[in-house]
């Protein structure tokens, strides 16, 4: 409140402006308002154009209120300021709508204060006002300017918050459409791209993030689409995941673990996210080793082998049917020997070293396997199917699952 000045820089509290000061200053208001208007529009030509436009009268009222209320509150500290408050908020809203920062408006406020202070010095000399009173006036004036700026900031942030919320909503809707897959009308995607100023890329890379998660917007590239309100948080990176993008994700997702899907044509975005989410599942099952960021491209065979668990069960029953009725202990030894042979095609000595048994034991087991499986180990297609099943079983065992 201007009627009570804040402490001076030297530590001595300044006294309140006497109410008589308002009577001295009030006659100066018409010419002061005009002078401030001229100086501000000269320093900020944008405001000169606004004064000549349809909002000119409203701006003039706002300027008059901003100056008059200061004098009114000197005369009567409880003087109402509702109209002034709303006008200052409107100034802030307008700057937000115009896409500007508050620097220009704050500069205009401070320029007006300097002009008012210059006028006050002339009045002070005319009325022989004391230096202490002039200091009190200056202190109260710049406190008042802080108040005007705070009111304008409220209006500015109100618009910015609403704009950000609306834009974020549109960006999430765009992300959802891209992940919905066909048949999504291309016109709907094109309209959202235009509304959000987002360029539709030819390729995208999807990222699945382990919940709970939060994106640090200050370090995230603006062209990234993200939905962290989803129970399975995810984001879309236009184009491939370059080293620069990788470093950006490290900073934008601090302390969060994520799986990077494959870079695919934009129409295949749902697949990239599906693979990334599957990697998260396999990490949670201890099948894939955990790390802050895991790349799907490093685990394509694992993804393929474990892509359809039910189908894998059926394939395992078919391929391993010849040993299904053998006792569990012997069956496990034969399966392990068969897996090592398919992996290495090694000699009995080499396989024995890997299995921790005598080479003669390996030869004995291999004769048993050849007798049991027969042509299945000779035919390339059957042998490939068996090898795929055994590798999938080994992956399942890492996660503590029953391999069959």
**How is the chain split into domains, by residue range?**
20-162, 201-305, 309-398
Instruction: Determine the CATH number of domain 201-305.
Output: 3.30.70
Could you give the CA distance from residue 214 to residue 217 in angstroms, rounded to a whole number?
9
pLDDT of residue 294: 93
Task: Specify the higher pLDDT residue, 105 or 6.
Answer: 105
- Long-range contacts at 80-89 (CB < 8 A, ≥ 24 apart): 84/151, 85/151, 87/58, 87/61, 87/62, 88/62, 88/148, 88/151, 88/152, 88/155, 89/151, 89/152, 89/154, 89/155, 89/158
pLDDT of residue 8: 39
- Specify the range with the lowest mean pLDDT, choosing from 136-150, 216-230, 294-308: 216-230
Could you give the CA distance from residue 260 to residue 225 in angstroms, rounded to a whole number?
14
User: Is the CB of residue 254 less than 8 Å from the CB of residue 219?
Assistant: no
Mean pLDDT of the chain: 85
Q: CA-CA-CA-CA torsion for 99, 105, 107, 108, nearest 10 degrees?
A: 140
Could you give the CA distance from residue 353 to residue 373 in angstroms, rounded to a whole number?
24
Domains 20-162 and 201-305 share a fold: no
Could you give the CA distance from residue 116 to residue 138 in angstroms, rounded to a whole number?
9
With a cut of 80, say whether residue 381 has pLDDT above it: yes
Task: Specify the higher pLDDT residue, 86 or 165.
Answer: 86
Instruction: Determine the CATH number of domain 20-162.
Output: 1.10.490
Could you give the CA distance from residue 339 to residue 172 in angstroms, rounded to a whole number?
47
Helix or strand or coil: residue 181?
coil
* pLDDT confidence tier of residue 9, bands split at 50, 70 and 90: very low
**Number of neighbours of residue 141 by Cβ within 10 angstroms:** 19
With a cut of 90, say whether residue 274 has pLDDT above it: yes
* pLDDT confidence tier of residue 254, bands split at 50, 70 and 90: confident
With a cut of 70, say whether residue 184 has pLDDT above it: no
Q: What are the DSSP calls for 274-294, one per residue?
A: HHHHHHHHHHHTTSS---SEE
pLDDT, average across residues 333-341:
89
* pLDDT confidence tier of residue 278, bands split at 50, 70 and 90: very high
pLDDT, average across residues 200-221:
81
Task: Specify the higher pLDDT residue, 361 or 11.
Answer: 361
pTM of whole model > 0.75?
A: no
pLDDT of residue 44: 87
pLDDT, average across residues 5-13:
41
User: Is the CB of residue 261 less than 8 Å from the CB of residue 206?
Assistant: yes
List of residues 6+ apart from 32 with CB closer than 8 A: 67, 115, 116, 119
Could you give the CA distance from residue 397 to residue 11 in angstroms, rounded to a whole number?
75
Could you give the CA distance from residue 20 to residue 190 in angstroms, rounded to a whole number?
65
Could you give the CA distance from residue 362 to residue 368 in angstroms, rounded to a whole number?
10
Question: Tokens representing 213?
Answer: 């998660």
């Amino acid at each position: 409140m201007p009627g009570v000045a804040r402490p001076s820089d030297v530590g001595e509290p300044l006294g309140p402006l006497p109410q008589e000061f308002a009577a001295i200053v009030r006659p100066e208001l018409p010419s002061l308002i005009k002078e401030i208007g001229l100086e501000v529009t000269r320093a900020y030509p944008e405001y000169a154009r606004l004064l000549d436009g349809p909002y000119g009268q409203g701006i003039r009222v706002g300027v008059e209120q901003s100056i008059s209320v200061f004098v009114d509150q000197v005369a009567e500290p409880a003087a109402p300021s509702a109209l002034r408050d709303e006008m200052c908020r409107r100034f802030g809203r307008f700057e937000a709508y115009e896409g500007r920062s508050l620097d220009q408006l704050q500069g205009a406020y401070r320029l007006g204060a300097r002009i008012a202070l210059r006028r006050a010095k002339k009045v002070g000399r005319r009325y022989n006002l004391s230096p202490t009173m002039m200091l009190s006036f200056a202190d109260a004036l710049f406190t008042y300017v802080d108040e005007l700026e705070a009111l304008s900031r409220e209006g500015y942030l109100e618009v910015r918050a609403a704009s950000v919320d609306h834009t974020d909503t549109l960006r999430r809707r765009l992300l959802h459409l891209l992940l919905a897959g066909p048949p999504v009308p291309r016109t709907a995607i094109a309209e959202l791209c235009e509304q959000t100023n987002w360029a539709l890329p030819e390729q995208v890379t999807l990222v699945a993030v382990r919940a709970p998660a939060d994106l640090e917007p200050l370090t995230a590239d603006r062209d990234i689409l993200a939905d962290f309100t989803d129970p399975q948080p995810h984001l879309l990176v236009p184009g491939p995941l370059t080293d620069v993008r990788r470093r950006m994700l490290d900073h934008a997702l601090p302390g969060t673990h994520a799986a990077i899907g494959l870079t695919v044509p934009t129409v295949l975005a749902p697949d990239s996210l599906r693979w990334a989410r599957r990697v998260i599942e396999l990490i949670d099952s201890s099948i894939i080793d955990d790390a802050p960021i895991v790349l799907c491209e490093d685990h394509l065979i694992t993804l393929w082998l474990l892509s359809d668990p039910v189908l894998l069960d059926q394939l395992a029953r078919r391929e391993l049917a010849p040993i299904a009725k053998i006792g569990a202990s012997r069956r496990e030894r034969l399966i392990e020997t068969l897996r090592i042979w398919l992996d290495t095609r090694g000699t009995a000595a080499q396989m024995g070293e890997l299995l921790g048994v005598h080479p003669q034991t390996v030869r004995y087991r291999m004769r048993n396997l050849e007798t049991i499986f027969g042509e299945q180990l000779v035919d390339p297609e059957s042998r490939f199917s068996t090898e795929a099943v055994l590798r999938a079983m080994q992956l399942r065992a890492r996660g503590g699952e029953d391999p069959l």
